[in-house]
Amino acid sequence: MTDRLAGKVALVTGGGRGIGAAIARRLSRDGATVAITYSASAEAAERVVSDIAAKGGQALAIRADAADPAAVTAAIDQTAIRFGHLDILVNNAGMGVAASIAEMRIEDYDRCFAVNVRAVFVAIQAAARHMERGGRIITIGSVNADRIPFAGGSVYAATKAAVAGLTRGAARDLGHRGITVNVVQPGPIDTDMNPADGPYAGASKAALALDDYGRPEDVANLVAFLAGPESDYITGATLNIDGGYCA
């Protein structure tokens, strides 16, 4: 463990698996106390908490459906009350429904925007009430906000473009308080939601400058940089970590 985030408290939404779990573990490794939210798998979330504790860190798992604004706000308030403050928010929880415009159901459209956009807004608003100067807000977007080389991703892309715009506006709103707001846009990352041998792997790999999918730890490394003191002068930025997907 390092001490670059010692004394900091972080909340990672959707931190029970994939990219979120890697981020939680990395922030803890850098010295932060970490809370994570999950919506379905308590077992996976508790495994992340146990892994962090086994390495000498402190962590907490909170059940909160990202589609429920009250649950999102309560998770942030619980984290700040439990640990005394909140310094880092990572909006990682997300979802996608692959369907063409002609086939997309309105209920799936609404849930995508509720989880991927509204929850980010609600979390930023709630976290900002607890943050002091030096606070960090980082949202996990997607390079699909800028490029979709396959059919069926229009609504998902729209949600990720929305959070990139929200990030730029929030950076303006919170900058005078010394709180930075940035968005990290991963390209193809090997997770259970988007495996390197999944149905979209062929199109995704063809778009890369490098030769394979990235790892959740690659994204976690960039998030850790943005959460730390080295990134004081970075805000309102969109940072791609995509193996050249958008090159």
- Kindly tell me the sign of the dihedral angle through the C-alpha atoms of 54, 60, 62, 67: negative
Query: Where along the chain do its domains lie?
Result: 9-241
Q: Are 9 and 86 in contact (CB under 8 A)?
A: yes
Among 67-81, 91-105, 189-203, 226-240, the minimum mean pLDDT is found in 189-203
Question: What does the block give as tokens for 244?
Answer: 């050249």
Estimate to the nearest angstrom the gap between the alpha carbon of 243 and the chain centroid: 18
Q: What are 61-109's pLDDT values in tens digits?
A: 999 999 999 999 999 999 999 999 999 999 999 999 999 999 999 999 9
Q: Are 58 and 52 in contact (CB under 8 A)?
A: yes
Position 134 scores a pLDDT of 98
Q: What are 130-173's pLDDT values in tens digits?
A: 999 999 999 999 999 999 888 899 999 999 999 999 999 999 99
Q: Is 163 helix (H, G, I), strand (E, B) or coil?
A: helix
Residue with tokens 């929030």: 170
Q: How far, in Å, CA of 12 to CA of 224, rounded? A: 12
Position 199 scores a pLDDT of 84
Query: Residue 152: left (phi > 0), alpha (psi -120 to 50), or beta?
Result: left
**Domain 9-241 indexed as CATH 3.40.50.720:** yes
Q: Is 149 helix (H, G, I), strand (E, B) or coil?
A: coil
Name the residue among 101, 175, 172 with its Cα closest to residue 131.
175
Position 194 scores a pLDDT of 85
- Backbone phi and psi for residue 112, each to the nearest 5 degrees, phi listed first: -60, -45
- Active-site residue set: 156
